Structure 1
Amino acid sequence: MMFLAIVLPFLSFIVRGKVITGIICFILQITLIGWLPAAIWAVMSLNNERANQRNEDLIRAVREGRR
């Protein structure tokens, strides 16, 4: 998924179900200058989503451990 976020940033958003964000990213990506910010945006978004999932898993594990 990281490779996809770097090579085709808009597709990375669309695959994760963020269609509107993917369209905005595509508009940014079609310019040569905008491709780099679009790729950075997609990679940061992917990393944030993974971090959020890890946090949710940790919270769930702590809550289950208390029972």
Structure 2
Amino acid sequence: MIMILICFIAPWLAMFLRGHMVQGVLCIILHLTVIGWIPATIWALAVCRREGAT
């Protein structure tokens, strides 16, 4: 539940917490644009859901 909240507030932080450093940096760049915030959030949610399933 807390990871989902982190994905909405700071998607790049969710990537870093899951150990995806390069994806986290790309997510920061995407998150810096207003239009890119929504895809960054969806991307972080997808990564967190996939990591949680394993």
- CA distance, structure 1, for counterparts of residue 34 and residue 16 of structure 2: 20
RCO higher in 1 or 2 (8 Å CA, sep ≥ 6)? Answer: 2
Aligned position for 2:28: 26
> Which consecutive unaligned segments of at least 5 residues does structure 1 have?
54-67
Return the structure number with greater helix share: 1
What is the RMSD of the two structures over their aligned residues, measured on CA atoms? 0.7
TM-score with structure 2 setting the length: 0.89
Higher-Rg structure is: 1
Aligned position for 1:5: 7
After TM superposition, which residue ranges in structure 1, 4 or more long, deviate above 4 angstroms? none
Sequence identity percentage: 38
> Which consecutive unaligned segments of at least 5 residues does structure 2 have?
none
TM-score with structure 1 setting the length: 0.73
